Structures are given as structure tokens and as C-alpha cells.
Structure 1
Amino acid sequence: VEKAGEVVSVPLDKVVVGDVIHLAAGARIPVDGILSRGTGFVDESMISGEPMPVEKANGDALVAGTVNGPSAMVMQARAVGSDTMLARIIAMVAEAQGARLPVQDLVNKITLWFVPAVMVIAALTVLVWLIVGLLPLALVAGVSVLIIACPCAMGLATPTSIMVGTGRAADLGVLFRKGDALQALQGVDVVAFDKTGTLTVGAPVVVTNTLRAQDLAAVAAVETASDHPLAAAIVALSGRHLPVATDVETVPGHGVQGMVEGRRIVIGNAAMMVWDGIDEYADIPAGQTPVMVAIDGKFAGTIGLSDAPKPTAKATVQALKARGVEVVMISGDTQDAACALGKVLGIDRVIAGVLPDGKVDAVKELQAGGRKVAFVGDGINDAPALARADIGIAMGTGTDVAVESADVVLVSGNPAGVARAIEISRRTLRNIWQNLGWAFGYNVILIPVAALGLLSPQLAALAMAASSVLVVTNALRLRWVKVLELEAAK
């Protein structure tokens, strides 16, 4: 940490917000902050579950617990101690692991009757053998019944699976904020996605370009002087080595114009072309935002931009459909833009042009007939729908309001986490029922065996311990289960 112009080592608990921290190559990042000097790659797999290192540049966020790559960097602390993302994740996982699922209530009700029933069976066992006249066997059989019927396995069946399942989900970047979501998610019938920032990257990218490379460079040179959201995408497409633009002028609501190497470049919408005296121009496919270009009074081509889908969005939709889950998109975007994306991703039902309260109404409509609906979103405008859905799933890259309204959080903002969360939920519940089946089956079979005097107390104790070990071992299988490695779209 920089102190009075020098770099000194300090205990982690002495780091405060605003401190400038020097990160050595391969060092673990100690607190949340932003990169202030240097560039490099950071391994964020422990937070996001994604194995590939993430490239970082000045101003990018750094998360406590992640590991710096081969380059030394300098960061500024923005959150320390319990305020870091890692601390919040640990708190959420601990809360979920301590939660009681509805299935646990059923187990508790059975256990409530199980213990008195075992006491009665043990007493009857002793009584019957006494009537037969075998006092030593009566005592041995009665004690064996009490030992063999220890309800430890039933008590371990649910919590061990929950702890291992939620831990495995956290490894994959899926955080269950509420424990009951783990059970609710396995029975979901419909997953409704928000569009912008959830299924898409949340920023425009060039999809269609009919310009020549030389003309594109000239357009990008003019756009460097513009602060329009579409300008950055055009500049990024053309590369770094651009000619110099002069006399750049913005025409509000229409576009921008300027001079590049003696040529007059006019960029904008259809109205801008008409303003420049051009009556004929080529359009682009529906669902894209057109940026038209004229050079020296002649139409030169069109650039089409759209909010591109996230790399794993299409594979996620396919995986959900393959598991019998209906996929719906609910968006505030235009019908054309939303339907165009829906067609690309394979989403058959698209509800577009809705306001935040309209998203709530759409969720209610999907819930008709008792169907269980999960809603996935990232923005403040998604918070009401996240709260109304049976299960709310928020992108960890979204707003704090959305995260607080959700039952499940996808740390990296990867939509594949939705399919993984459902898969983890289903496998965890299956594991719980396996454990319960073994625990009850064990008691149903071995209590009569013990009552018949066929088990000594020593063997009964060994069988009871083995039963508990088997339940825990079965739950631990979830720790290494492989869950949906979805490929990014090429």
C-alpha cells in the first residue's frame, strides 16, 4: 500500500477505502477496487465459475479473492472487509446452507412420530421375548432395536445435500440467496428472460456493414468526435489507426458530418440522408439500428448495429427447452428488435414493449393454471417482476436493487447459470430423496431384524454408523457432479 510516497506492507484489516495498492504478478487481490495503473489478466474463476482469465484495463473493477496474472498492476480500494463481493457471497452461501427446505418439514413430522414408535417397538420386543421365556434375548433384542433405529440418517439426509449442493452451485457462479429456492427451482415450468443486459451484452455492436474498409475508417474518424452510444461501436470495429477528421458538426436528432482527407462524410439516419439531398439508400434487416453513410453527396453504405446476444444465450435456451422448460422473453424494447433476437436465440414467445408494471402482469399471466415461473433480469425496472415470480434470478452484473429482489444470483451475469441452477436444484433434490429413501428403507428392514434377535447391539451400532456414513457420502457426490458445460455461440 502507498503511504507517504512509499510502498509498505500493512495487515489486510488495516486497508481502508481509497488506499492505493500495488499488486505483484500472481498475487491474490485483497479487496474490491478499480484498476488505476497497468493492464493484465485476472483469474476470476473462484467468483464467477468461468475458467478463462479476464482482461483488465484502467478503470475496470477488481474483486477480492481473485488472482492477478503475470503483470504487476496498481489498484485503488473501493470496498473492504465485510463490504467486499467475496464477503457478501460467503454470507449468502452460509444463509442458504442453513435454510430449511419444505421437504425438511415432512422429515421432521415423520421423525416426531418415529421416536415414540421405536420406543413402543422396543418395549413390545422385550415383552414378547419375556413371554416366550428368553430373558437374555429379550434385553439384547430390545437394546438392538433402540440402537439400530437411531434417526441420525434421517436427520442428515436433507441438510448435508443442501450444504454440498449450494456449495457446488457457488463454484459455478450460482448463489442461492434463499434456501427454499433450491427446492422451488427444480419444479419450474417457465423461465422468462429480460432482454437487455440479461440475454444481450447491453451495449451496441456492429452486426451489418456494407462499407468499404477505407470508407469505414473515414466514418470512424468522424465518429471519434461524437458522444453518441453507437459511435463507440463503429470506432471499435474500424481499429486504432484512423485518419484525422476536421470540421466535425453534429446535427441533433439526425447524425454527424465532417471532413476526412478532403472528402465530406455524412453519417446518420434516413432523415440525415434526406437532409444531405440523398433520396435512395439501402436499409438493413429488421431488429437492427441503421447508421447510413454518404460521401461527397453520394450514398456509400449502411452500418447495422444491435445489442448482440451473450455468447451462451442460445445454448442456454436450447438446454432449457431440452429439459422441458418453456422459455419466454419479456422486454421493454420494440416488437421488431425483441422478435429479431428471439428468432436468433430460438425463443418462440416474445412479449415486447412493456413497462416495469407490464412485466409483472406478464409474469402473472404466465403463472396462470398454477405454472411455476422463474424470471431472470438485471435492472431496477426488473425488480418488481423478480419479486412477483415464483423464483427471481438476478444477474450479478446488474443493479443492487435487482439482486436484493432475487432468490438466486448469477455472479458473472452468464445466462448459462440459469440452466445450471435448475440442474443443480434437480440433482440436489434427487440426492435428498435418495438419502431419505435409504434412511427409511434401512429402518423398515433392520428394525424387524433387530426385534427378531438376529442382530447383536455391536452389529446394530455398526449398521447405524454405516447408515449415516452412506448418507453423507451420497451427498458428497454432488461436490464433483458435472453440470452443463454450455458452448458459446461461434
Structure 2
Amino acid sequence: MLMTRDFSHYVKDVDPQTAHLDLAVEGVSCAGCMAKIERGLSAIPDVTLARVNLTDRRLAVEWKKGAVEPALFIDRLAELGYKAYPYEPVRAEVEETERSKFLLRCLGVAAFATMNVMMLSVPVWVGGDLSPEARDFFHWLSALVVLPCAAYAGQPFFQSAWRALKAKSVNMDVPITIGVVLALGMSLVETINHAEHTYFDAAIMLIAFLLAGRFLDQKMRQKTRAVAGNLAALKAETATKFVGPDEISEVPIAAVRAGDLVLLRPGERCAVDGSVVEGRSEIDQSLITGETLYVKAERGTQVYAGTLNISGTLRVRVSAASEGTLLAEITRLLDHALQARSRYVRLADRASQLYAPVVHATALLTVIGWVLAGASWHDAIVIGIAVLIITCPCALGLAIPAVQTVASGAMFRAGVLLNAGDAIERAAAVDTVVFDKTGTLTLPELDVVNGAGVPDEVFQLAGRLALASHHPVAAAVARAAQAKAPLPGVTEEPGRGVRALFEGEELRLGSPAFCGADAEANAILSADPEVSVVAFSRGDRHTVFAVRQLLRPDAARTIDALLNRGIAVELLSGDREPAVRHAADALGVSAWRAGVTPAEKIAHIEALKAQGRVVMMVGDGMNDAPSLAAAHVSMSPISATHLSQATADLVFLGKELAPVLAAIDYSRKAMAVMRENLTLAIGYNVLAVPIAIAGLATPLIAALAMSGSSILVMLNAMRARRVRLGGASWK
């Protein structure tokens, strides 16, 4: 009977030509594994992407639709020595928890054996008059403790090495396994032959230290992965949908479409993006805005998937659901961030590919060299074991990916998502930041700036009338007035405004000419030419509202912090000169230009680059996409157009501008730690390998040195998550 495997349920469409599949891969433990898997799958014709995320051991594969059967990927991974299956977050989390528990049990067994065998070894080390029989007795006791403990505690390395060898390849665990098995085997032979020295202590100590490093690595990745897990927890799987005027039904989120009406009860998380059409409540939207205080939700308020409804019941008109929501976009960007790799990561990947043949060849040549020099086979093999252990480049394999993982998680917590593999490396070099104004230095929404001088009754009527208009300036009046109920019988005159009858008087909202308020509007514009105006009239009484985009609340503080770091700041905007001048003066930016076209922005950035400046462009509009691509590194707010986000190397969340500063500070810290780790890893090998080859390091010393270097780079990598942001902070 022929059995087929159907993975169509797990395959997603990236675009009409490209399919995507996420696979969970067992046995991925280092950069060498990642490179091996990616090379193996990229070699399959029509595969366009193969990228391993070491944080959650997930493989993302993309290929031309219809060209490859997904089952082929699992078969190919099996040939490479890795078991794989479709990635399911719940299953993956359970298995990762079990793996952590297993590593902890192995570490406990290895630590128990290490402590006991060290006590048994003390009499042998210091007992100058210890009889041969007593020495043999302690050696046999050591063997009795170590051999079963090593067999259990060494499973993470032994199983990984066996899978690699079965696939006719090697990984970082192969030399570790060979070294441990040789040390244990030789120690047993030495014990049987009544020799003076054995190496049970070296073998079990090596396993204990390596397990400590691997467990530390696991916990660090779990902590970073928890960020993505927290986002996943915000996603609702169902929504309460109106299927009739007064009938609701709980349906899977996949059954919700744009334009549908959904009910959001108190205490529920919103499953969709949309706008409130009825009801009033408070909502927690800290994920989107960075604001921890609850905000009012009423008619016209935008809500997003993941938003928590606090108090009242809301009816929401859906604008996006499922994979189209802003929360889904943030999750995709975070996944990209955790998979991203800089030039340093790729350098470490290439180095780790060479380690196995180099380690084995070095150990073999050392044994042969010592034998030719007149040493006994026993002594030559002992030195070879030490070389095999001490040259294993675990530290080099962990040096860069560990920093990348820590930095990516820390940057997300500061509101920054990576959208390019080398974004950290490029952002660290920035010495000039060029800002767009509208939607970047300012908030995306318009706001009324002279509302304090408007009588409350007038403001409320204008707001209720504004609810009938789709114009963004009118929407700003409605928001500022917190209007809830639109006026009945509203008529719209395209291009002019809206009008309605109220208590026998005509109300109008629109252009100053439409409302007969030209004089009042001109007075406001002459005092503040950058604002937009909308007029309101009730009979022969007129009011003019001044509306503008407000600067981000921490914009001045963030720019001041950038300047204090020696980073030049410029403002390039296509907006009118008065508006740009006002923003530049308010922020303390001396270098600014208004009325700049997209082509002129690119030309200016190229001129700065010709002067040797390293430019970061921060912009949000579609017209900013070319200049974002022209800069050395680029950044966009999450509210930016999709084209702008796709072009930007980094994306930031929330209303504040602090993530721009955080991106540079975290990137500089990460690059410094990467360089430190590379120096530590390479320096360790430069010093340790000659010592081992010269026969000056026993297997025990080799185990301590190699394990210690791995743990050192892991602990040093943790420093990448601590950055003092100075004058600005992410809430």
C-alpha cells in the first residue's frame, strides 16, 4: 500500500509564486548545524530560501509553488542527520521544556559524578606513599561512578554525534564524543593495567562543563523566545462575529473578513484590526503605542489585534484579520529579527564549517608527531586526546550567534525590530541621522491645537458634525471633542464640507469659505502658517479649529541625546517651509530643508556619503522608500506604509522616538561584545592549542579550558542586553 504525506495544511503562500513552510528540526545546537542545514536545502532546485532560527530550532523554507513537494525537505533533513516535522508553536514549546529538563537532569548527574570522582582522585594526587593496591581501588571506584554517569549525562553529545556520523558527516559534537570516549576507554585500560594515572575526572568534568554551557545557552534562548511567545499569546483564535443584525456567532479567526462586524466584550483581546462603530470602553494598546496607560475607545477609535478591552462592550468594523493584522506583521518582523545574521555571524558560520576536519587532523598529526619523536603510543594518545578536547571551537561557534540572539531580544523590548541580517552591524557605524518630518518626527494622527479656547458646547457640536465626514482634518476635530453620536440629517458637499439642521439653525463644518469664516482663518494662519484649519459655523457665529500633527512626545529629548553622542542630525521634508522650520526650531535641529523631492533626498544622502558620513535615514512615507534604500541603514515606524517597511532595515513601535536612539546604542554595544567574543574565542585557541600540542595540558586541563572558554563567551554575550539610553527611554 502506497502512503503519501500531505503537508498542505502547514504551507503558506508568500506571494502568488512562492510557498513557505516552517519546520521544527531536532538536534540543531550550533552555527555549524545551521550552515549545514541551510546549504543542504538550498541545493534543492527551486528552493529560494532556507533559514534556520537557532533560538527556537525552526527552519523556514520557501520555494517556487508547485515545483517541490514539502515532504522532500523532511527527507533531505533526514539524510543530513536531523529529524524534522511541521512547526507547531504549542508542540515546539512542550518539547523545548522537556529538552531543558533533560539537560538539567544530565547536568545534575554529571555534577554529582564530578564531585565524587574529584574526592576519589585526591588521595591519588597527594598520596605520595599510596600503595598500588589502594591506588587501583580508587581508580576502580572512579570507574564505577563515572562510566554509568557519563553514559547518561553525555547523551546530548553522543546522540547528536551518532546522527551526524550516520549521515556521513560531522558536527561539533563529534570531536567532543571522540575525546570523551577515548579518555574513558584509555582510563579503563589504564586501570586494568594498574597504571598510575587515569582520566575519569577529565572526561566527566568535560561533560559537566559542556552541559552547563549548553543549559545556559538554552535558557538564554528561551528567554529571548519568550518575547515571541508573548506575542503569540496575544493572538485570539476566535472572534465573536455578527451574522445577522442581532445575531452573533463565535467563529475561527480565519472565517473573519474585512468589512465584517465583530463584538468585543470586557476582558477580551481583540482578534482583528478595525475601528469602533459603537460602544465605549478603555483599552490597553501598549504593544502598539508603547503607552502603558489605558486609552479611551469610542466611535472612530482604531483598535488592533492583541488589544485588551478593559471595561465596556464595543462593536468593531474589521479592516484586517488573521495574517493581515498589525500584530501578525510585528510577529513576522520579530521572527525575521531572530533569524537575521550579520557579517560577523556569517564569518562564525564559515569558521565553524572548518572546525571538524581541522580538529581531527590536528589531533591525529599530534599523535603521529609525538610517536615519531620517540614518545610511547600511550603518551602520544593522551596528548592527542588533550588536543582533541582543547581545540573544539565551541566558543567560536557560540561567540556571535549568542550576541545576536541577546541583542535581538533586547532591541525588541526597546521597541525595535530588525528587518535585515546586517542591520546591527550597519546601525553601529552611524554618525549621521536624517529624519523625515511628517509621520516620523510627528505622530501620524492630526490633533486640534487651539481646542482649549473653544466653548465646550461648540466643540461638542462640531465634533458630532465631524463624525459624518471622512476628511482627516474633520476626524481630528471629532477625536479631540470625544464625540460619540453623529448628528442626524447631515449632508455633505464634496470639496467644501458637511452641514445639518440643529434646533432650527444650520450647522456647517468645512473650509473657511464654506462656513463664512475667512477672516478668522486668515488671522490664525498669519500667526501660525504651518497649521491646517477647519471652520465651524452655527448660524452667523463662527469658530476656526487649528489642526496639525504634533511632534512625538520625546522627539526633542531623543534628538538631544543623539547630538550628545556626537551624531549629526538633519531634517529633510517635502512639507512647507514654515512647518519644517517650526519643527526644526522646536527640536534644536540646525540642518534642515523643506520642500524636498524624493530625488533630492537621495542626492543629499549620496552627498553625505561622499563626504564619508555614515547615514541612517528615518522615514515613513512611500516617497521615503528610495531614500531609505539609499542610506547606509534605514528605519521606519510600524505605522509606515508597507513599501517603506519592506525597504527599511529596522522598524520601531509606539509613539515615542526613543527606539531610534535605542537601535544605535544596542547595535554599538552588540558589535563591541561580538568583537570581544571573537577576540576571546580566537585568543583562547591561539594560546591553548600550542600548549596542548606541546604536551603541557592534560585532558583534565583541556576540559577545563575548553568548557571555560565557552561559558565565558556566553556570559559575555549577556552584556549585550544592557544599554543605558541616557536622555530617552522606551516605556
TM-score band by shorter chain is 0.7 to 0.9
What are the Cα deviations for residues 290-319 of structure 1, in whole angstroms up to 9, with x where unaligned?
A: 89999xx9xx99986643311111111112
- Higher RCO (CA < 8 A, seq sep 6+): 1
**3-state DSSP class of the match of 1:370?**
coil
Equivalent residue letter for 1:419: L
The 3 A distance-change label for structure 1 pair 284 and 18 is: closer
Two-structure CA RMSD over aligned residues (Å)? 4.1
Aligned-pair identity in percent equals 33
The 3 A distance-change label for structure 1 pair 73 and 351 is: same
Query: Paired residue for 2:615, among 369, 373, 376?
Result: 373
Q: Does 1:338 align with 2:583?
A: no
The 3 A distance-change label for structure 1 pair 185 and 136 is: same
Q: How much does 1:326 deviate?
A: 0.8
Q: How much does 1:484 deviate?
A: 5.5
Matches within 5 A, 1:398-413: 398-413=640-655
**3-state DSSP class of the match of 2:439?**
coil
The 3 A distance-change label for structure 1 pair 10 and 237 is: closer
Per mean C-alpha deviation after superposition, the further-off stretch among 432-441 and 26-35 is 26-35
Counterpart residue number, 2:125: none
Contact 2:391 2:685 in 1 (8 A): yes
Contact 2:512 2:535 in 1 (8 A): no
Counterpart residue number, 1:382: 624
**3-state DSSP class of the match of 1:28?**
coil
What are the Cα deviations for residues 377-428 of structure 1, in whole angstroms up to 9, with x where unaligned?
A: 1112212211222222112112222222212112325322211111221122
Matches within 5 A, 1:389-400: 389-400=631-642
Give the Cα separation in 2 of the matches to 1:290 and 1:82.
38
The 3 A distance-change label for structure 1 pair 187 and 359 is: same
Give the Cα separation in 2 of the matches to 1:322 and 1:301.
44
Equivalent residue letter for 1:284: A
Matches within 5 A, 1:96-245: 96-108=337-349, 118=359, 121-123=362-364, 125-127=366-368, 129-130=370-371, 131-202=373-444, 205=447, 207=449
The 3 A distance-change label for structure 1 pair 32 and 304 is: closer
Q: How much does 1:19 deviate?
A: 4.7
Q: Does 1:475 align with 2:717?
A: yes
Equivalent residue letter for 1:84: T
Q: How much does 1:336 deviate?
A: 2.8
Counterpart residue number, 2:217: none
Counterpart residue number, 1:284: 527
Q: How much does 1:80 deviate?
A: 3.1
Q: How much does 1:180 deviate?
A: 1.2
The 3 A distance-change label for structure 1 pair 49 and 460 is: farther
Per mean C-alpha deviation after superposition, the further-off stretch among 111-120 and 181-190 is 111-120
* TM-score (norm. length: structure 2): 0.56
Contact 2:573 2:596 in 1 (8 A): yes
Q: Does 1:269 align with 2:525?
A: no
Equivalent residue letter for 1:38: G
Q: Does 1:312 align with 2:554?
A: yes
Q: Does 1:89 align with 2:330?
A: yes
What are the Cα deviations for residues 3-51 of structure 1, in whole angstroms up to 9, with x where unaligned?
A: 4554444445555555543333332333333333323233333455443
Give the Cα separation in 1 of the matches to 2:508 and 2:656.
40
Give the Cα separation in 1 of the matches to 2:680 and 2:291.
36
Per mean C-alpha deviation after superposition, the further-off stretch among 471-480 and 337-346 is 471-480
What are the Cα deviations for residues 317-360 of structure 1, in whole angstroms up to 9, with x where unaligned?
A: 11211222111000112223212210110111001111222222
Counterpart residue number, 1:348: 590
Higher Rg of the two aligned structures: 2
Contact 1:255 1:267 in 2 (8 A): no
The 3 A distance-change label for structure 1 pair 231 and 22 is: closer
* More helix as a share of residues: 2
What are the Cα deviations for residues 166-185 of structure 1, in whole angstroms up to 9, with x where unaligned?
A: 22222332111111112111
Per mean C-alpha deviation after superposition, the further-off stretch among 65-74 and 331-340 is 65-74
Q: How much does 1:141 deviate?
A: 1.3
Equivalent residue letter for 2:320: A
**3-state DSSP class of the match of 1:196?**
helix
Give the Cα separation in 2 of the matches to 1:61 and 1:106.
45
Give the Cα separation in 2 of the matches to 1:302 and 1:28.
39
The 3 A distance-change label for structure 1 pair 82 and 447 is: same
What are the Cα deviations for residues 147-175 of structure 1, in whole angstroms up to 9, with x where unaligned?
A: 11112221222222222222222233211
**3-state DSSP class of the match of 2:516?**
strand
Equivalent residue letter for 1:185: A
Q: Does 1:70 align with 2:329?
A: no
Unmatched tracts of structure 2, length 5 or more: 1-239, 484-501
Aligned length: 468
Unmatched tracts of structure 1, length 5 or more: 259-264, 271-280
The 3 A distance-change label for structure 1 pair 75 and 104 is: same
Contact 2:408 2:417 in 1 (8 A): yes
The 3 A distance-change label for structure 1 pair 474 and 73 is: farther
Q: How much does 1:191 deviate?
A: 0.9
Query: Paired residue for 2:516, among 246, 253, 257?
Result: 257
Contact 1:284 1:302 in 2 (8 A): no
Give the Cα separation in 2 of the matches to 1:66 and 1:470.
41
The 3 A distance-change label for structure 1 pair 465 and 80 is: farther
Q: Does 1:37 align with 2:275?
A: no
Equivalent residue letter for 1:269: N
Give the Cα separation in 2 of the matches to 1:26 and 1:310.
30
Contact 1:25 1:71 in 2 (8 A): yes
Contact 1:268 1:293 in 2 (8 A): no
The 3 A distance-change label for structure 1 pair 411 and 266 is: same
Q: How much does 1:366 deviate?
A: 2.2
Contact 2:620 2:639 in 1 (8 A): yes
The 3 A distance-change label for structure 1 pair 32 and 455 is: farther
Contact 2:510 2:534 in 1 (8 A): no
Q: How much does 1:367 deviate?
A: 1.9
Q: Does 1:457 align with 2:716?
A: no
Counterpart residue number, 2:47: none
Equivalent residue letter for 1:267: E
Per mean C-alpha deviation after superposition, the further-off stretch among 162-171 and 115-124 is 115-124
